[in-house]
Amino acid sequence: MANTDNLTGINDGNRQMKTSDKELSTKPAAEVTEILESFSLSKSNLQEISQLMRQNMDRGLNSATNASAIVKMYPSFVRSLPDGTEKGDFFALDLGGSNFRVLLVQLLDGDVKMKSKIYKISQETMTGTGEQLFDSIADSLAEFKAEQGLGDTDLPLGFTFSFPCKQMGLATATLVKWTKGFTASNVEGKDVVQLLKEACKRKNVNLQIVALVNDTVGTLMSCAYSCRDAYIGLILGTGTNACYMEKLSDVGTWTGDDKEPREVIINMEWGAFGDDGCLDDYRTEFDREMDGLTLNKSKQLYEKMISGMYLGEIVRLALVKLGSSGHLFGGKVSEDLKTAWKFETRFLTDIEGDASSENAECRSILTNLGLTTSPSDLTIVRSVCVAVSTRAAKLAVAGLAAVISKIGLNELTIAVDGSLYKKHPTFKPNMEQFLKELVPSVSVKLMLSEDGSGKGAALVAAVAARLSS
């Protein structure tokens, strides 16, 4: 449950700390206050960040500047949101790790029914040949179709492929680089849709693979089926990204036809915002130190200030500094706390979700990290968590404000998915509050997207079928 007593407006900086003024006014706490204030963002700060995001969006959309743009604004080739008339049976394939899902999605009169099965890819298959990998997937598709009594039925399929791709059409996408432990040979640089089609042909699996879907686009499509004014999709989980519906006339990089509908969903890839240094004034010493610990140093800097992969590490680094300078834990920092990535982002969720005055959850987490704590230590640690998560929510809203401004509507819904948004106790209410303050003239609703990678992928296939009919 959100602790609403800790919420303050943008103009007040970060949320108030769960402590007394007397505790913070003591001389030793000056460094604590300084560190907390380093995460504070004023309304004018957020307005400037929003303007910078808008400038980067324009660069990404402009064919003359796209090559050097850090926010790439990739056209998804999804030309329409669902209009509610989509009907029929569709398959979806969700591949993003060693487990993948196959789904049968049935659409009828605005109702959605789904059946799914999870399959595991062996380590041998993940690191073998591309042909072995896609043959294994095709075998699973055949098994699932047979189990659903649809063995010989030729149905459209939407393919969620959560690896870095360059998309050249709705059903054409080249794998840029494998991640997540996959090294299957002869796939990088190849059209993954074509590879799946060839495997299905070898295995005699009848399917129309009509779309390759980014998970952010799927998030938007999933909500848009039941919510007619959903125009933005947002991921706030391990990483962060956004997409939105754009007019074709504003997409200078568009290479498709100009027939109706003259719009397309743009996959912003906004995590790279700031990679050119434009956010340097807002990055703290802890952001820089954390960045140095990552494999992609100086990349995805906006994402590193917002998403769940990094928030815990930012907090850990701040706690190490405060402990080492004698302001926490009696000046004794445990080996666990000194260990990179040991303070997990889920700890922020647990600590901030504990509304008790004793901060029992905080004490338990710190004790398990080998730390001896006092009541004032618990107060300070909680305050650091609050400062870091609040800044993340504000930064996400600053980016959304730029997108909302670009769309130009007075009322809209943002489809949101991701573990950080779903699990953190104050992320959603903070975003709602900051949106009201940053875009007061627009009525904005945040809507949790259910299964964008499955349901959303099938809806992309359904919309493609509707447009081609």
Q: What CATH number should be reported for the domain holding residue 5?
A: 3.40.367.20
Lowest pLDDT segment from 1-5, 354-358, 414-418: 1-5
**pLDDT of 20 strictly over 60:** no
Indicate whether 425 pLDDT > 70. yes
Q: Tell me what percent of the residues of the chain surpass a pLDDT of 70.
A: 94
Look-up: residue for tokens 């796939």?
187
279 shares a domain with 412: yes
Please, what's the b/e burial string for 299-334 (b: 16 or more CB within 10 A of its CB; e: otherwise)? ebbbbbbbbbbbbbbbbbbbbbbbbeeebbbeeebb
Q: Are residues 274 and 396 in the same domain?
A: yes
- DSSP secondary structure, 25-62, as one string: HSGGGHHHHHHHHHT---HHHHHHHHHHHHHHHHHHH-
pLDDT digits (tens, 9 = 90+) for 206-263: 999 999 998 899 999 999 998 999 999 999 998 899 999 999 999 999 998 999 999 9
Select which of 101, 363, 382, 391 is catalytic. Answer: 101
Lowest mean pLDDT among 170-174, 176-180, 181-185: 176-180
Domain of 123 in residue numbering reads as 77-213
Q: Which of 185, 213, 241 is the C-terminal boundary of a domain?
A: 213
Residue 9: per-residue pLDDT: 52
Do 372 and 403 fall into the same domain?
A: yes
Identify the band that residue 190 occupies on the pLDDT scale cut at 50, 70 and 90.
Answer: very high
- CA–CA distance, 311 with 385 (Å, rounded to integer): 9
Between these two residues, 209 and 180, which has the higher pLDDT value? 209
Residues 87 and 176 in one domain: yes
Catalytic residue check, 162:
yes
More confident residue, 413 or 450: 413
pLDDT digits (tens, 9 = 90+) for 29-50: 789 999 999 999 999 999 999 9
Hey, what are 291's tokens?
């960045």
Mean pLDDT of 358-383: 96
Q: Give residue 341's identity as a one-letter amino acid code.
A: W
417 given a catalytic annotation: no
User: Is the residue at 402 inside a domain?
Assistant: yes
What does the pLDDT look like over 270-300, one tens digit per residue? 999 999 999 999 999 999 999 999 988 999 9
User: Which whole number is the average pLDDT over 319-338?
Assistant: 96
Are 415 and 452 in contact, with CB atoms under 8 Å apart?
Answer: yes
Domain boundary, last residue among 166, 192, 213 = 213
Number of domains into which the chain is organized? 2
Residue 277 belongs to a domain: yes
The question of whether 12 is a catalytic residue gets the answer no
Domain match, 204 and 286 both? no
Is the same domain home to 257 and 375?
yes
Same domain for 209 and 231, yes or no, is no
Same domain, 133 and 251: no
In a domain, 395, yes or no: yes
Phi, psi of 148 (to 5 degrees): -90, 5
Catalytic residue among 40, 116, 162, 443: 162
45 domain residue, yes or no: yes
Give mean pLDDT, residues 120-141: 96
Per-residue confidence band for 10, with pLDDT thresholds at 50, 70 and 90: low
Mean pLDDT of the chain: 91
In this structure, the answer to whether residues 252 and 390 fall within a common structural domain is: yes
Tell me the pTM: 0.89
Q: Which CATH number does the domain housing residue 145 bear?
A: 3.30.420.40
Q: Are residues 434 and 316 in the same domain?
A: yes
What pLDDT shows up at residue 8?
44
Domain-terminating residue out of 161, 188, 213 = 213
The residue among 257, 264, 223, 250 whose CA lies nearest residue 80 is: 264
Sign of the CA dihedral with 388 first, then 390, 396, and 399 last: negative
What does each C-alpha distance from 1 to 116, 186, 425 come to in angstroms?
31, 48, 6
Domain presence at residue 93:
yes
Asked, for residue 401, whether it belongs to a domain, the answer is yes
DSSP β-ladder status, 111-120 and 99-108: antiparallel
Q: Residue 443: pLDDT band by 50, 70, 90 thresholds?
A: very high
User: Is residue 105 located within the same domain as residue 136?
Assistant: yes
In a domain, 304, yes or no: yes
The catalytically annotated residue of 94, 191, 215, 417 is: 215
Q: Are residues 279 and 348 in the same domain?
A: yes
Q: 460 in a domain, yes or no?
A: no
